Amino acid sequence: MRIKSALTLSTFLSIIIVLTLGITTSAFNLQIRKVTAHLAMTRNMKATIAQRSILGVEFYIRGENRPLEQANLETERLESLFEQMRESFEEAEHASILLEMVSTNDSYVKLFDQFKSSIHAGIDKESGGRPHSDYEKTLYSQIQLKSYMLQALAESLETWHLRRIDSLNTWTTMIFSISLFILIIFVLVNSIWISNKLSTGVERLRQGATLLGGGDLTHRLSIFPEDEIADVAREINMMAESLAISFTSIRNLEHEVAQREQAEGEIRSINAGLEERIAARTAQLESVNKELEAFAYSVAHDLRAPLRSIDGFTRILQEEYEPVFDDEARRLLGIIRASSVKMDSMIHSLLELTRTGKSEFSPTDLDMRSLAIQVFAECSDPELVASFEFDAGALPDAFGDRLMMERVWLNLLSNAVKYSAHSPVRRIEVRGNVDDGMNVYSVRDHGAGFDQRYVGKLFGTFHRLHCESEFAGSGIGLSIVKKIIERHGGAVWAEGRVNDGATFSFSLPRRS
């Protein structure tokens, strides 16, 4: 049974006991009052009978009317009492006694009337000459006898009522005592029971909590008997279960953290190794690159001397031995000289490219618009340049090497002029803006353009997207631009369409 239910039941039963006690006591009190009222009536009746008897004696002795009248009044009172008692007395035994009393009283009255008549008539006085005749004595004896009988009956009623009151009082006391005793026992037993239940339950909780608190999260508290303690035990069990799950998660997390820390350590270790390797490789690459540049420079430089010899001697042959040679020989000599010139040009460009990587880098603040305008004026044949509309917008200032930047502008603007020379629209637009922390510059023309699919080859060394006979060039200018811009930490890109012009753009980091 649940403790709350037990307490409710206990309270309810206590109230019932107290109510029963109250109702029973009240009922007994009412009964006692009623019986006491009946007793009072009975005593009144008894007194009336006794007084009438005394008045009868007075009349017997004196023969006066006064005691007779008083006795008659007492008889009337007695008959009235009989009537009242017959209405209010409920016991069958009392009804029988009252009936007997009424009958006896009737006999009394009848005998007394005869006695009175005899006295008044003086029948026997005259005949017998005695104060009372045997007849009167016999009558009076029976009158007295009836009076005693009435007295005895009244006393029996009185005794009954006295006993009844005594019995009711005894019962009231007994019921009150027993009820009180039961109530006390009930409260005691109930208190002990609930106290035991609570202390046992709390002890069970304490032991369980101690075990759980000690770390034994697998321990479960008993949930029997089913009561509030069991509810608490159930909650504690659930809490222990949650705690166990949380502990497991924490342990897993700790394990995971440890693993991660280990992995991070390993990664850091690997990174450190990688950086070292990258630095080593970079150093190696730089060394190789330097060696390659040195080699290229050396080759280019060294190749120029024999090339000049070939060109010189071929020129001598052409000039000195022209008549000797036939046309085919002259044509071939012409090819040799043209190839030598071209090769010299290529070597020159290659040397220039190599120098770009090797030259000293001295950055300074640059007015890019002025620089572009200045370079454009000198980038090609003045007549040709003059035939172009040059539109230079506002360009952000740059921070870079002046010579290198002049070379960038020169290559891009000269290319724009060159590839727009055959175009009906001779217009070149230079624009600049700041985007995402970088200065972005562009050169747009409306010339031959190029196929966007091959844009990747545009900045390669000696790569060309147009025939040399159509547009002369070494094929190394954009490579130099790319190299300079990258050396500044920027980037270069191009967009174009065949016969619809091209836009070459580059970005430079803003000065921090």
Partner 1 sequence: MKRTLAALGLLLLLLGTCTRHTPKIEPIEDVLKLAYMDLPQSGIIHIALEKGFFTAEGLTVKALPFAFGKLALASVSRGEADLSISPETPIVFSILAGENLGIAAVIGTWDKNTVIIANKASGVQKPSDLVGKTIGVTRGTTGEYFLETFLLVRGIKLDSVKIVDMQPAMMLEALLSDQIAAAATWTPIHFDISERLAEQALIFFGDDFYTEHLVISGTLTYMKKNPGAMKAFIRAIIRAEDFMKEYPDEAVVIIAEHSNLSRSSVRATLELLRGRVSLDQSLLLQLEDETRWALRLPIYAGQSMPNWLNYLHMDALDSVAPDRVRVIR
CB of 39 to partner 1, least distance (A): 14
184 versus 332: smaller Cβ distance to partner 1? 184
Residue 399 sits at φ, ψ, to 5 deg, of -120, 105
Residue owning tokens 């724009």: 416
Q: How far is the CB of 34 from partner 1 (least distance, A)?
A: 21
| Antiparallel, parallel or unpaired: β 438-444 and 398-401 | unpaired
To partner 1, the closest distance from the beta carbon of 194 in angstroms equals: 12
Residue 387 · residue 418 · CB < 8 Å = no
- Which residues fall within 8 angstroms of residue 55, CB to CB, at 6 or more apart? 67, 68, 70, 71, 74
Q: By C-beta, is 132 or 482 nearer to partner 1? A: 132
Q: Which amino acid is at 335?
A: I
Which strands form 427-435's sheet, in the order they lie side by side? 389-392, 427-435, 438-444, 502-509, 491-496
415 burial type by CB count under 10 A (0-12 exposed, 13-18 middle, 19+ buried): buried
Task: State which residue, 151 or 433, has the beta carbon closest to partner 1.
Answer: 151
Closer residue to partner 1 (CB): 192 or 257:
192
23 or 178: CB nearest partner 1: 178
Token readout for 414 is 């000269």
Least distance in Å: CB of 207 to partner 1? Answer: 22
Whole-Å CA distances, 289 to 237, 286, 297, 426: 74, 5, 12, 41
**Nearest approach, Cβ of 246 to partner 1 (angstroms)?**
41
Parallel/antiparallel/unpaired status of strands 427-435 and 389-392: parallel
CB nearer to partner 1: give 127 or 512: 127
Q: Is the CB of residue 455 less than 8 Å from the CB of residue 496?
A: yes
Both structure tokens of 493: 């890109």
Residue closer to partner 1 (CB basis): 146 or 426: 146
DSSP letter (8 states) at residue 68: H
Q: How far is the CB of 151 from partner 1 (least distance, A)?
A: 7
Q: Which is nearer to partner 1, 141 or 262 (CB)?
A: 141
- Toward partner 1, which CB reaches closer, 110 or 466? 110
C-alpha to C-alpha distances, 224 to 210, 211, 220, 230, 275, nearest whole angstrom = 19, 18, 12, 6, 68
| Non-local CB neighbours of 460 within 8 Å, separated by 6+ positions | 479
Tokens of 322: 């022209």
Cis peptide before 225 (omega within 30 of 0): yes
Binding site for partner 1 (CB under 8 A): 93, 96, 100, 107, 110-111, 134-135, 137-139, 141-142, 144-146, 148-149, 151-152, 155-156, 159, 163, 174, 178, 181-182, 185, 188-189, 192-193
Q: Which amino acid is at 367?
A: D
For the bound state, the minimum distance from the C-beta of residue 196 to partner 1, rounded and expressed in Å, comes to: 8
Least distance (Å) from partner 1 to the CB of residue 46?
11
> Chain centroid to CA 292: how far?
68
- Shortest spacing between CB 121 and partner 1, in angstroms: 12
Strand, helix or coil at 49? helix
Q: Give the whole-angstrom CA distance, residue 280 versus residue 275.
A: 8
Q: How far is the CB of 123 from partner 1 (least distance, A)?
A: 8
User: Nearer Cβ to partner 1, position 195 or 499?
Assistant: 195
